[in-house]
Structure formats: C-alpha cells, structure tokens
Structure 1
Amino acid sequence: MTTAEILKRVRRIEIKTRGLSNHIFSGEYHSAFKGRGMSFSEVREYSHGDDVRAIDWNVTARFSSPFIKVFEEERELTVMLLIDISSSSLFGTDTQLKRDLITEIAAVLSFSATTNNDKVGVIFFSDKVDKYIPPKKGKSHVLRIIRELITIEPGNKNNTNIGECLRFFNNASKKRTIAFLLSDFISTPYEDPLKLSARRHDLVGIQVYDKGDRTLPDVGLVHVQDSETKHVQWLDTSDKMVRKRYETAFDEHQKYSINAFRKSGSSLMSVRTDENYVKALQGFFVNR
C-alpha cells in the first residue's frame, strides 16, 4: 500500500468514525465512564449521612472527632486500546475482515475519548507485544493510531497470546485506566492476568468474530491452512462430524472467554463482521 493510499484510507475512516463519535457515542461514552475515576481531594469533619467507609481513622484519632476523606471525579481519564493484530484478524467471509472492523471500533473509541479530552494509548499484540504507543491527547495522535492500525503487521510468530498483552499492560499502566481489549479471543489461556487487570482497571472486552469462525460451509474436500500456526491439511467439509468439531472448537473458546470475564468482574461484548457494531456499542454503553 502506497503512502497516498494509506492517507486516503485514514481520511475515509476518520470521516466515518469521527462523525459517529461526535453525534452518537460522545454522550454514551461520557455517561458510561466519566466519574469512574476518583482522586483524593480533602479531609473534612464527618456529617450525619456520610459513608462511614470514608472515615480517615488517622485524622479521627488525632483530633478525637470523626473526619472523612473526600474524593472528586477525575476530569482527565486515560483510555488504552489493547488490539489483537495476529493473523487470525485478517480473516473474513462476508462484508469485511475482522481487522477492518477492529480498526473502525478502535477509531470510534479513540475519537470518543478525544472529544471528552481524555488521553488514548495503544498496545498492539500477537504472540507478544508488537508495539506500544503511550497515551496522549489530540486529533493528530488519534490519526497516528489509525495509520498504525492500517499498516502494522505482527512479528515473526502469528499466534495470539492475550495473557502476554495483559501482563505488559499491567506493568505499563500504574494509574487506573479504561481499557478496551479487541480480539477474536482465540488465544492461549489468559484468565489470571485478566483478573489482575480487572482489579486495577476498568476493563472491557470486545470480541470481533466472523460467521466463518464458527460455521464451516459444506463445499466438499478443501485444502486449508491455519492462518496462525501455518498448519496445512485437507478437510472434508461434507462430513457432518468435521463441521460439528469445527463448531464445537469455536464454542469452547467462546465459553472460556465468557467465564474468564465473568469471574474477573469485567465486561465482554461480541460483534460479528456482518452485524451493525454501532447498535452493539450503543447498547453496551447505555447498559453500563
């Protein structure tokens, strides 16, 4: 892809997703996430009706009178996008590739954050962390993120390791952060680092998948290659048991992800490549 083609595609994505952010998602984003980050403001005397859990026992003991800690909403939040760029994201059977949908959703979230004057950063990962862009503000920074989304390629290995990404995120982000993890979640196990991330941050998983990830079409004998492991084999798609095993494998990954997010206390939503992600995101934000 030439530089001119990249810039043209960036501009096209900007026009579509920035419009969605300004006219649709800015209110929902603000309602869903503003006020979730709180910072210490002051200590004042306890008044009837105050939450006893906010009592500052050190100050109370010093003055022999109850005092409470007062917190205020942090006006500036940080958003981190954890984006799966492994080879499986380059799969799609209908309207678009999973990577294309991930790019649009990431752009919408970035512009929504920018509209609210929040910082945005990105961690691109496959079997390892391929690139880290520290959080910053501003339109030019978001456009850089979109350019990277369009052009970045994974390293030598193409497997997916969500756990490695989450471990890097936990080390890099000391302050409480709003994090969106965008992946098809076909990965090695990641339950433990997910629990740690969910304790420290406001974490949301967005599963982007294609109908072909679950359903194998009946087209006879085909020569197939796994996009990540590069394993090649012949597959008889006319065999009902072969199609059933394929479906079961996807369902098992799905069940693992749902249980992992539920146990961690974080949120998970799913969007298919041939579905309207606008409605899905709107519904998710409203429900928060």
Structure 2
Amino acid sequence: MTRPELSPAVGGGGRTEAVLSRLQLMVTRKLDGLLQGDYAGLLPGPGSEAGESREYRPGDDVRRMDWPVTARTTMPHVRRTVADRELETWLAVDLSASLDFGTGQWLKRDVVVAAAAALAHLTVRGGNRIGAVVGTGGPAGDGGAGTVLRLPARNGRKEAQGLLRAIAGAPVRPGRSDLGALIDLLNRPPRRRGLAVVISDFLAPPEQWSRPVRKLRFRHDVLAIEVVDPRELELPDVGVLPVVDPETGELHEVQTADPRLRRRYAESAAAQRAAISTTLRGAGAAHLRLRTDRDWLLDMVRFVAAQRHARTRGTTR
C-alpha cells in the first residue's frame, strides 16, 4: 500500500501549503458533514453561566454541586451550566523524534498535525482563540521542556492557518521533549478557563507528566490525544528486524520469529497503554486514542458523539 502524502515537514513551503490545504479540506468536509450543531467542540465544556439544577449522577463534577437545592430536597443536585461561546483553546504538541515513526497509513507526526488541524477548525469556526506550545526535542531549554515553539492564542482562520503552518514546519531534533515540562507551560502564566489539549504518544513515563495534567485540570477542561502506531502494540513475524531508536539513533536487531518475544512485547505494550489510560483517567482528563492505521477523523467524530451522549447522562469522563 502506498502511504498518502501528508507529512508537510519535508520539502519546501509550497508543498507545505498544498498539504495543509488538502488536510483542511478533508477536515472541513468530514467534520462539518458529521458534526451538526451551532457549537461543535471536541469536549462539551461546562461553561460558566448558571443554568438549571438536576439530580446528581455518578461521575458528575462535585464542584458543580447545588447545595441550596440539595439541602431543600435532601437529594444531591448539581447545577447545569450553559456552554460559553468564547472559548480559548491551548495545545501542548509533542513533536519528539519518536513521532517520526509509522507503519500504518500515516506517520505519527502526520496524525499529530491532523489532530491539531481538526481542533483549529472546530475552535475558530465559533470565533474562538487557539494557541499552542510545541516541543521539538533537543537539549533542555524552556522550563526543561527542551526546544519549545510558543504560538500565542489568536482568533480567525488566517491566524489558525499560520499556527498549523508553524506546527507542521517545526524541525524535529534528536532527543525527547520533557512532556511534563511542556504541559506545565500551559499553566504559566495562568490563563482564562478554557480547553487544554495535550497531543503526544505519551511514551514518557507517566510519573513525568501525571502531576502537570492534574494541575492543568484544576482550571481547564483537559483532552489528551494519544497517537499510537500498531507496531508499538505488537510485533509481526518477519524474521530479524532492524530497529532504530529515532531519539538516540541506536540500531538494534530483533528476532521477531521468536513467539515468546512477540508475546512478551505485546504484554508489555498492553501494560504500558493501560498505565497511560489509568493515569489520564485519574487526572480527570478526557482520553482520545488515534492510530496511524485507522481513520483518525472518524475516531474523532465518534469521540465527540460519545462525549455528548455522556454529558446528557451526567458524566463526560
């Protein structure tokens, strides 16, 4: 199968513009065709304007408890809120060297850029602002996060396209960004309540980034987009497989014909992904997993539908 041309980081500015234009067209057609409604965000944010009260359901945010109604009825109630129209969205985009890998239809880096494009489209169409901090590996720099590109929050399609061009054209350097330090950049300086999105493969140890995610959740709705390649979950039986670590350049040869090795690899990968899911859920973040061998846009649409359905039942996590 021929992999579609999506990676805009390779080649000149003209090719980057062409790739982003095709990506924008794809996002616009599919999201606008499948996500109906005046305000279609990836998370049905609670907003700040008070609405009606309803009975508490397991999973509701206890910070929205309506204590006067609870005391009057002797039944726990929560206060509904009306979603804000003006939303500020911030992206923490991890473009460490490990993202330059893919054995499916796309590279993981492609999916990261595509997810950012979908978020930008959903954000700016409501007149909202979007900004980003982008970690590109390299030596420790901005707050320990490595080399970081800061893109201030602005509204408008032209500004959103500029943000996407900057993300797509960001050079990837050897080494791994400190994901925890990158996420912490969304906490400094304190920003108005909004949506914070972390896009990464989350291969860094959870203890490195779990606390910054919990801290971010105190003020913002948090969405974690995990990008996965199928070969990170299981090894095919292809004999001796040369494997290069994209972050260190080290070359290893793996004998994939060994069924015990493949089994241990799959078990370790499953345990790693389960730890990521558990940590994100414990931090209160919504979790969306996108794969390089699947229709990532369809997975996004399904995620939005599930979040909205959960919201009507009283929980969004």
TM-score after normalising by structure 2: 0.75
Residue in 1 that maps onto 2:304? 285
User: Which SS does the other structure have where 2:187 is aligned?
Assistant: helix
The alignment status of 1:93 with 2:110, answered yes or no, reads no
The CA distance in 1 between the partners of 2:43 and 2:253, in whole Å, is: 48
The alignment status of 1:148 with 2:166, answered yes or no, reads yes
Change (3 A) 1:251 1:17: same
Matches within 5 A, 1:242-257: 242-257=261-276
Deviation at 1:139?
Answer: 0.7
Change (3 A) 1:279 1:18: closer
The alignment status of 1:24 with 2:34, answered yes or no, reads yes
Residue in 1 that maps onto 2:233? 214
* Aligned residue among 138, 148, 172 for 2:189: 172
Residue in 2 that maps onto 1:184? 201
Amino acid at match of 1:2: G
The CA distance in 2 between the partners of 1:169 and 1:114, in whole Å, is: 19
Is 1:26–1:112's contact at 8 Å kept on the other side of the alignment? no
Moved segments of 4+, more than 6 Å: none
The CA distance in 1 between the partners of 2:89 and 2:30, in whole Å, is: 18
* Aligned residue among 74, 88, 96 for 1:78: 88
Change (3 A) 1:233 1:160: same
Is 1:14–1:143's contact at 8 Å kept on the other side of the alignment? no
Is 2:85–2:126's contact at 8 Å kept on the other side of the alignment? no
Q: Point out where structure 2 has 5 or more consecutive residues left out of the alignment.
A: 1-10, 51-65, 70-80, 138-144, 308-317
The CA distance in 1 between the partners of 2:115 and 2:253, in whole Å, is: 35
The CA distance in 2 between the partners of 1:152 and 1:32, in whole Å, is: 25
Change (3 A) 1:218 1:72: closer
Q: Point out where structure 1 has 5 or more consecutive residues left out of the alignment.
A: 41-50, 55-70
Residue in 2 that maps onto 1:47? none
The CA distance in 2 between the partners of 1:234 and 1:35, in whole Å, is: 47
Residue in 2 that maps onto 1:14? 24
The CA distance in 2 between the partners of 1:201 and 1:274, in whole Å, is: 31
Larger helix share, 1 or 2: 1
The alignment status of 1:138 with 2:148, answered yes or no, reads no
Amino acid at match of 2:112: I
Q: Per-residue displacement from partner, 1:187-238 (whole Å, max 9, x unpaired)?
A: 1331111111112210011111111111112121233211123222221111
Deviation at 1:53?
Answer: 5.4
Deviation at 1:150?
Answer: 2.1
Alignment root-mean-square deviation, CA: 2.8
The alignment status of 1:260 with 2:279, answered yes or no, reads yes
Is 1:160–1:186's contact at 8 Å kept on the other side of the alignment? no
Deviation at 1:263?
Answer: 1.0
The CA distance in 2 between the partners of 1:53 and 1:75, in whole Å, is: 28
The CA distance in 2 between the partners of 1:231 and 1:29, in whole Å, is: 47
Residue in 1 that maps onto 2:315? none
TM-score after normalising by structure 1: 0.82
* Aligned residue among 10, 13, 23 for 1:3: 13
Amino acid at match of 2:105: T
Matches within 5 A, 1:118-129: 118-127=128-137, 128=145
Is 1:178–1:202's contact at 8 Å kept on the other side of the alignment? yes
The CA distance in 2 between the partners of 1:29 and 1:287, in whole Å, is: 16
Which is higher, the Rg of structure 1 or of structure 2?
A: 1
Identical pairs, percent: 24
Amino acid at match of 2:165: R
Amino acid at match of 1:138: G
Amino acid at match of 2:102: G
Is 2:242–2:252's contact at 8 Å kept on the other side of the alignment? yes
